[in-house]
Structure 1
Amino acid sequence: MDRPPHAHLLHVQHQHSDLNPFSRPTTPGHHDLQIGFCGLGAMGSPMVTNLANWRKQHTQAPLPIMVWNRSKSKADDLARDLGDELITVADSLEQIATECDIIFTNLANDDVVRSVYHKFAKALQADKPTKNKIFVETSTTYPTLAAELDTLLSGVPSTHFIAAPVFGAPAAAAAAQLIIIMSGDYRSKKEVAYILHPAVGRKVMDLGGNVEKAPTFKLIGNAMILGSLELLAEVFTLSEKAGIGAPLVHQLIKDLMPAPPLVAYGEKMLHDQFDGSKGFAIDGGLKDSAHIRKLATEMDSPMPALDVAHQHMLTARALHASQARVGNAHFDVLDWSSLVAGTRVAAGLDGFDSSKHSNKVIPEKDE
């Protein structure tokens, strides 16, 4: 068959680009990969939904993705919404471990991750795999946990572990716009990169063979985001106190440095939109900031802005708990952008209701 001029160059560019640093893996054999996914929270649910829909459109007769969640009702709801041809619900973590070829996990915290992987390892020790198996941890965890999990699974034949945390809020996950950071076994990363990109994320970054590097980079990135939230909170609060008003500062951000996180989180602070069920819950933010501060301490690398952000999140959570006790809380769960409440209260303003700020801006009339 005749090919158009430079077709081979087009093929190479498709296989290996700035968005995916890996060349496409060799075509698998007759048997389709059985994918498993554990954890259907604010991030996991949109990730597996996008993955299932992508495979339906781009893979010939794909096997349904096998899902597991601690509360089984979420898994059952997902299977009902997407259909049995795309999703099947596992009876247990042991079934995921033994029956799936590639297993993704996106879980709440380090303790949950550790517990789940110990169950995986125990199941595989009892029923040793006879073909290649890859475990992919996409949560935000402390870097040493990745090394612990890698060691845990290294004693199981044909089993590999890679760390692949993702950057992006739930809205980015829903839009398949995550940035995926990978470290670990090279062949496994190559295989997984083409499963996740572009189905789940817009870009893959390779941090090398040391599994601790990807989670370390994730903490550094989250430190940058959290530090930006703290700066937003401080300038918004100052503008309210000075009678300028946070809306003008938000407009300046959009005109001068319109980074999506600054604009989006600025919008939440501006309109007191602190619903953590639709964003990144503050407990997750505190977990991440604790990890960042621990890493900074171990590296002798002071991060005072993160210390302040951590304290302001604690203040916001304490204020919310006080409201919840008397039935005045507006949200069941706070978003981490609510750290602005800590800044506001320190400056003598209402924490969660900016309409109560006394120095509201009154536009001057032309004479």
Structure 2
Amino acid sequence: MSDLLHSALHSTSHSHLAMSPTSGAETPAVPYSRPTTPGSASFPIQIGFVGLGAMGGMMAKNLANYRAAHISGALPILVWNRSPAKGESLVAEVGQNKVRVAKTLEQLATECDVIFSNLANDDVVKSCYLKFVEALKHTPPARSKIFVEMSTIYPSLAGELDTLITSVPHCRLITSPVFGVPTVAAAAQLVIVMSGDYRTKKEIAYILVPAVGRKVIDLGGNLEKAPTFKLIGNSMILGTLEILAEAYTLAEKSGIASEEVHGLVKDLFPAPSIIRYSERMSRDQFDGSTGFSVDGGIKDASHIRRLTAVHNAPMPNIDVAHQHMITARAIHNGMVQAGSETVDVLDWSGMVAGTRVAAGLAPFDSSNNHGVVQED
């Protein structure tokens, strides 16, 4: 790995410290020493970003703004999205001095020194990497090139991507999924997980923190560990969603107001993510364009279930949640086709529709659900 990226990263002087929740002491948000090569880089780093969805768009925007403000001589970030309009919209928002749009994936792969990707599913991820490699074999890189896979993928895909990328000289790959919803991404407060080559992780950590996230968790050298950890984390979130959905449904059936349940959630489980999803269920706010889509939730649940089968570690709660999301999606799709649904993208908290219909209630409008309460 070339030292050239080290010297470019050395130009940032911001503290990377976080408060320890247990001791109150300051602890490193980045678990690596800062790159030590002194002086300025002999060339400015060209960063690329592939995938400008709800999460990727926020990360690319924050990265572009931060580098323009803090990195001397920073080049505009080169972005690519399947729908060019998102890239053009980002340029219009932040300016041509911060972002420019690649015409093709191949252009981004050949021109950039660091390429981040945050994509919808495994098939899309692999198809992009195949195009990267095809372009780089046609135009071999003369210096180090780092690929950072930030999508939520099944762990074994990481090995396939590594085989593809390392078939090209000077190319490295790390896996680096993130925890957080779009509002968290917008605030640059994501938790970033990394696995892969140590030195490469160090390079990338100082690009992403604090520009995109608030801390890095290092899972070692095995590229499959970060994607596995991401699925484990998502299993906790999804399992919590299932419990909330069942509790809200029981409350509706027994005549207890959703506001009371949400108040109890805030008292008993004062975690921002739990409160956020509880509020969505209590108010029937299932717009996935500002959250996480049910399609993404079903994909993640499928990966988690596959992982539990491989390791003989059952998660029955995830099995049930998976079915409830499929039920919710089927109902939502039917309503969209009938023209009776105003939400284009269903948030995964809409899985409560699955528990509601199983209990004989209306799926997405709790105002139509009136529980029958026995008199004392």
TM-score (norm 1): 0.93
* Cα deviation digits, residues 165-185 of structure 1 (max 9, x gap): 011111111111111000001
Aligned to 1:18: 28
Q: Is contact 2:16-2:209 (8 Å) kept?
A: no
Distance 2:214 2:15 in 1: 19
Aligned to 1:300: 312
Letter in 1 for 2:29: L
Instruction: Select which of 89, 92, 113 maps to 2:104.
Output: 92
The answer to whether 1:181 aligns with 2:186 is no
Letter in 2 for 1:346: A
* Cα deviation digits, residues 72-92 of structure 1 (max 9, x gap): 111111112111100011111
Distance 2:368 2:17 in 1: 54
Matches within 5 A, 1:1-367: 17-27=27-37, 29-359=41-371
Distance 2:185 2:365 in 1: 29
Q: Is contact 1:240-1:360 (8 Å) kept?
A: no
Q: 1:124 to 1:353 in 2, by over 3 A?
A: same
Structure 1 runs of 4+ aligned residues shifted over 6 Å read 10-13
Distance 1:228 1:182 in 2: 25
Q: CA deviation at 1:234?
A: 0.6
Distance 1:47 1:341 in 2: 31
Q: Is contact 1:37-1:66 (8 Å) kept?
A: yes
Q: 1:190 to 1:278 in 2, by over 3 A?
A: same
Letter in 2 for 1:79: V
Q: Is contact 1:245-1:360 (8 Å) kept?
A: no
| Structure 2 unpaired stretches of 5+ | 1-12, 19-25
| Structure 1 unpaired stretches of 5+ | 1-9, 362-367
Q: Is contact 1:237-1:246 (8 Å) kept?
A: no
May I ask how many residue pairs the two structures share in their alignment?
352
Q: Is contact 2:91-2:99 (8 Å) kept?
A: yes
Q: Is contact 1:140-1:219 (8 Å) kept?
A: yes
Q: Residue 294 of structure 1: SS of its match in structure 2? A: helix
Q: CA deviation at 1:155?
A: 1.6
Q: Is contact 1:234-1:340 (8 Å) kept?
A: yes
Superposed CA RMSD: 1.8
Letter in 1 for 2:349: S
Q: Residue 84 of structure 1: SS of its match in structure 2? A: coil
Percentage identity across paired residues of the two chains: 60
Q: CA deviation at 1:17?
A: 3.8
Letter in 2 for 1:88: R
